[in-house]
A and B are shown apart, each in its own frame.
Chain A
């Protein structure tokens, strides 16, 4: 390349310049910065949640590193001799004692512990909101399907990181969670008992577990997360960022600002904002008061035992499983005991996760749309997808809420059993109702958009015409706003197609059925001809009174 010769010729004048030149002529950083710094990113507040997740991850790594300096993942028994009086002399594991030590005797330890835990909740929150944004705007469509899958893997890894970390203090609360994991493992037919013995290094709880969880929590899972984040961001660069529809925005361009210098500075600032928010939460609100729960002991299960929110859907599924109705969910088949009261709850939780992973392909199969999409959908312009998304939120949300069924019962003076019955009904009926209601709401919003484009905004000005008629003046939309409201596709249902043998397969019938449910009712965007006709109509009626519409007066 020619610039190599240029650089060797270049002599910096200042000492800083000489150092920079020395590094750059060996590393070639300026080329990378030149390329990456000119990368264009569109700007929208909904695009910021992935960033929040990334910054939370950085905060997690920083605060977690601090915690590793004091945490000791040993399950050896020790009598507590720290400054927390109610635990004095109590026998506990070294892991629990060192967590108490961090909380009460290490300067700033409790703050860092709370920063770490709040950052974990924030990480999963931001990650979830980011996934919802990607889903509802259709950003997962070709060519980004694989990046969606990487995101789903990150969601699972986030749960794994959170759960292993939650279990490390070896208190009663987290021990109850591990007991459930033990129960689920043992419920698996044939391999269950062995799996549990391998995982716990013997009979639960054993003396190995905390050490094993520790290596997963600080090494294996974070490494996998970082790997996935790297792949994720690499693919974002390769695919370029999606953008919302707007004037000048096409499938072939990206409208926005370059990374350098404004975005880079903004992103750096945003990192500190996120850090500040988490530090505010951590210094103001207690999180995971492990000193209340006491050292782990397999015998008690305390009232109000729940997992962190992102594991809640699993706990909720377990709570909603009927115990003995209409029969006992235990069968002795094929030489093993199948405990469906524990295996059953894995079904709804697993279905939600699976649906998440395969959605891009499912949608493509039904719509037969295999084109690349870089322009996002407004959620109302894809009523079927928005409906499915809301159904998913209701299913997931019901399970998550079910994990707090006991607190709902006490705080709203309800019967615990009634709460469970209602949530069971909501788990099955909620998504169906949610889908159809959302689809109708989206169609209604689309019709409203159509009205706005054709007839303009009701201005509230009532005018009397020379011949005595009263009309309300409607202001036409400006071009920019109108562009957003008309620039969408509205696919029609695709009837079942016969295959090469001339037969309509069952799968094809299913696909056509789904296509009918999704697209039977639809609102098409306003065409230029329709817009012209609408303008003509009111011009004919009112002559010189521009921007008015008699049709709107009833």
Chain B
């Protein structure tokens, strides 16, 4: 200890300290992120055949934009490390392959069946570690807590997807789509991978259990009949204003004309 205390005024002491501090924070960060990565990787394992089939599908359907080795081109991003979850979401919802280049990939009927989607996912996940398709345990809404889900949803999701989850506008033609009618798995994968303009909500940010709560809340919104009558798309005051200016005014007009039809 004596040696240490003598050296503490050494001109290089500050640099050594700084290096130690950087090493420590960097190391902690690596450990912290590794826990997420580890969690993400533990799940479905694909066979080598699946990956091989997937590569064939990839070359013939995806490589034009994403490159022959999925390394990315000017027209599409690299897929190394995006994980099986991203493939399952993008291909499973029909967003990929895109119909055309645009501000955002649009929802459309899927082009590949489940088997082919799995093969593509197998190939892409073989390129680098990434989030995998969620386990059924986290998709089971009977285990979720809708009230906690509502809290998380309103604090994290409603800004873009609207309080009732019916979607909303973003800048320059981009938009957040409706969440009504989206499958549990795809909602989970979207949170995990952040498709299009959506931010990633990783497991440190929103834990798998919390993700399940959010899904539970959204599913409860789907089955809950709107308590106040027709929900008018859950779009808020604009839809209500439109209704009073059309239907409301229309009915009033009919009665005013009727009441004064025998006037002087």
Contacts and interface: CB of A to CB of B under 8 A. Distances in A.
Interface string A266-284: 1000100110010011111
A381 interface: no
A299 interface: yes
A103 B220 contact: no
B240 A308 contact: yes
A403 B237 CA distance: 10
Interface stretch (B7-15, B25-33, B76-84, B167-175): B167-175
Contacts of A49: 252, 256
B144 to A, nearest CB: 11
Contacts of B264: 42-43, 255-257
Nearest to B154: A294
Nearest to B239: A407
A246 to B, nearest CB: 9
Interface in A232-255: 255
B163 A410 contact: no
A125 interface: yes
Contact of A304 (B149, B168, B241): B168
Contact residues on B (Cβ < 8 Å of other chain), bracket: 35 or more
Given A88-B147, A410-B175, A277 B251 contact: yes
Contacts of B240: 117, 121, 285, 287-288, 308-309
Interface in B166-191: 166-173, 175-176
B146 A86 contact: yes
A307 B237 CA distance: 6
Given A303-B161, A416-B173, A404 B147 contact: no
Contacts of A280: 251
Interface stretch (B43-51, B61-69, B89-97, B222-230): B222-230
B170 A416 contact: yes
Interface in B118-166: 146-147, 149-151, 154-155, 158-164, 166
A104 interface: yes
Interface stretch (B108-116, B200-208, B242-250): B242-250
A212 B157 CA distance: 32
Contacts of B199: none
A459 interface: no
Contacts, number: 200
A506 B257 CA distance: 48
Nearest to A85: B146
A281 B248 contact: yes
A215 interface: no
Given A45-B260, A86-B146, A289-B231, A407 B238 contact: yes
Contacts of A300: 154-155, 158-159
* A interface secondary structure, majority: helix
A274 to B, nearest CB: 7
A158 to B, nearest CB: 14
Contacts of A255: 264
A342 interface: no
Contacts of B230: 284-286
A85 B217 CA distance: 10
A126 B232 CA distance: 22
A453 B251 CA distance: 35
A299 B173 CA distance: 25
Nearest to A121: B244
A486 to B, nearest CB: 20
Nearest to B238: A404
B234 interface: yes
B74 interface: no
B169 A416 contact: yes
Given A90-B151, A303-B161, A409 B169 contact: yes
A104 B245 CA distance: 28
A129 interface: yes
B4 interface: no
Contacts of A117: 240
Q: Which of A45, A114, A308, A406 has the most CB of B within 10 A?
A: A45
B1 interface: no
B162 A303 contact: yes
Nearest to A267: B259
Contact of A302 (B151, B158, B171, B227): B158
A270 to B, nearest CB: 6
Contact of B229 (A88, A286, A291, A406): A286
A473 interface: no
A517 interface: no
B6 interface: no
A268 to B, nearest CB: 12
B225 to A, nearest CB: 11
A297 interface: yes
A403 B221 CA distance: 26
Q: Which of B103, B221, B227, B264 has the most CB of A within 10 A?
A: B264
A273 B248 CA distance: 12
Given A43-B264, A416-B170, A302 B163 contact: yes
B155 A48 contact: no
B263 interface: yes
Given A285-B229, A285-B243, A286-B229, A44 B176 contact: no
Given A48-B259, A86-B217, A125-B244, A173 B163 contact: yes
Contacts of B103: 415
Contacts of A129: 249
Nearest to A48: B256
A193 interface: no
A412 to B, nearest CB: 11
Contacts of B232: 285-286
Contact of A308 (B220, B241, B257): B241
Nearest to A171: B163
A45 B256 contact: yes
Contact of B252 (A52, A85, A404, A416): A52
B171 A85 contact: no
Contact of A289 (B147, B234, B238, B263): B234
23 contacts: A52-B252, A90-B147, A118-B244, A121-B244, A125-B244, A125-B248, A126-B252, A173-B163, A277-B251, A281-B247, A284-B229, A285-B232, A285-B240, A287-B228, A289-B228, A294-B150, A299-B155, A303-B176, A304-B163, A304-B235, A306-B237, A309-B238, A312-B237
Complex A-B, nearest 7 residue pairs according to Cβ-Cβ distance, in ascending order: A303-B168, A309-B241, A43-B263, A286-B228, A415-B173, A406-B169, A48-B256
Interface of A: 42-49, 52, 85-90, 103-104, 110, 114, 117-118, 121-122, 125-126, 129, 172-173, 255-257, 266, 270, 273-274, 277, 280-289, 291-294, 297, 299-309, 312, 403-407, 409-410, 413-418
